[in-house]
Structure 1
Amino acid sequence: MLGADKGTAGELDGQGLRVGLVQARFNEAITEPLAGACRAELQRLGVAEADITHLRVPGALEVPTALQGLAATGRFDALIALGCIIRGETYHFELVANESGAGVTRVSLDHRLPIANAILTTENEAQAQARQLEKGADAARVVVEMARLLQSLR
């Protein structure tokens, strides 16, 4: 039986964790600060700069493919998906949001690897700007917590 504190945040310790980030370049004015906040929080939590691999891909639909490539190496304890999808006037928003989200989840489940999905889906650029820093930092905290949780279950 698992202890009562399993699965709770407690003190997050990223020391020794190897983390891969995949950042979509589309909406780069949003995704660069998102990635910066994520990297800063990972380092604050003790993840060494040398243990962070950061890839950039064209857009949110390409993020799951790059995540899958990183996961297949077996070199990572956790991954992070970074991107921004802003609603437009067509159905394309729903397609990109749904398919990128499903792809991220599939990679996580197929590889039994924690992946924080920090692909923002917003109605407008102002909403994205309001969320970019906190969501980036939150993604870092999520992967550290989940990586440690899964390690404790092995």
Structure 2
Amino acid sequence: MAGSETHYILPRPTFDKPVKLLIVVAPYYKDIADNLIAGAVAEIEAVGGTFEVVEVPGALEIPPAIGMAERMANFDGYVALGCIIRGETTHYDTVCNDSSRGLTLLGLQGLCIGNGILTVENRKQAEVRADPKDQNKGGGAAAAALHLLALARKWGAPRGGVGFQPARDEYQVAGPSQDDSTA
């Protein structure tokens, strides 16, 4: 069982300038979500960071909410939190795969995201993973976002928008010139 193994954890990053993260949570299982948030908040506060928390209906709405926040707000990084417990249908597989895929695509575009969406077989597994005094996956997700943010600041990566980029002026088609007159 993974819970009995010892794993290496990177030292907590440090920051010269303040950091502000957005925690996006799907509180379908409210008690589990609350524990995930508690772990994430403790990790963010440990580096002197600030945060906001927003709730969305489910795990599938987490990636779009992060994408909107990146375009419309001012956050340095993002923490995705939620819990998907296997049920009797294939809906579990769809929600697990598509929420993860959405976060991965945003991350590949340069967003600093920690994925703390639990994908478990039963409630007991979720409770152990969410508990800040046990596996603390909320804290781990915040730590992942903070480590990525530290790398982005180290490399001085320019911040750009996510998604569709409108054409710039030099690529737009010009209207008819004055030499195009017909006599």
Superposition TM-score tier, normalisation by shorter sequence: 0.7 to 0.9
Cα distance change, pair 109–129 in 1 and its aligned pair in 2 (3 A): same
Residue 11 of structure 1 deviates from its aligned partner by: 4.4
Trace 1:23-102 onto structure 2 (pairs within 5 A): 23-47=25-49, 51-73=50-72, 75-102=74-101
Match of 1:130 among 122, 128, 131: 128
| Aligned-partner SS, 2:54 | strand
Aligned equivalents of 1:74, 1:146: Cα separation in 2: 19
Residue deviations 1:79-112 (CA, integer Å, cap 9, x gap): 01000000011101000000010111112223x1
**Amino acid of the structure 2 residue aligned with 1:18:** K
1:46 Cα deviation after fit? 1.4
- CA distance in structure 2 between the partners assigned to 1:73 and 1:152 by the alignment: 24
Runs (4+) off by over 6 Å: none
Separation (CA, whole Å) in 2 of partners of 1:11 and 1:100: 27
How many residues are matched?
143
Aligned counterparts of 1:74 and 1:57: Cα–Cα separation in 2: 16
Deviates more, 1:71-80 or 1:10-19: 10-19
Q: Match for 1:142 among 135, 141, 144?
A: 144
With normalisation by structure 2, the TM-score equals 0.73
Instruction: Output the CA distance in 1 between the equivalents of 2:90 and 2:112.
Output: 30
Q: Which has the higher helix share?
A: 1
Give, in angstroms, the shift of residue 32 of structure 1: 1.2
**Cα offset, 1:45, TM superposition:** 2.0
The higher relative CO (CA closer than 8 Å, separation ≥ 6) is in 1
Structure 2, unmatched stretches of 5+, are 1-8, 157-183
Once residues 62 and 52 of structure 1 are traced to their aligned partners in structure 2, the CA distance between those partners, rounded to angstroms, is 19
SS at match of 1:22: strand
Letter in 2 for 1:118: G
Percent identity over the alignment is 35
TM-score (norm 1): 0.86
Q: Which has the larger radius of gyration?
A: 2
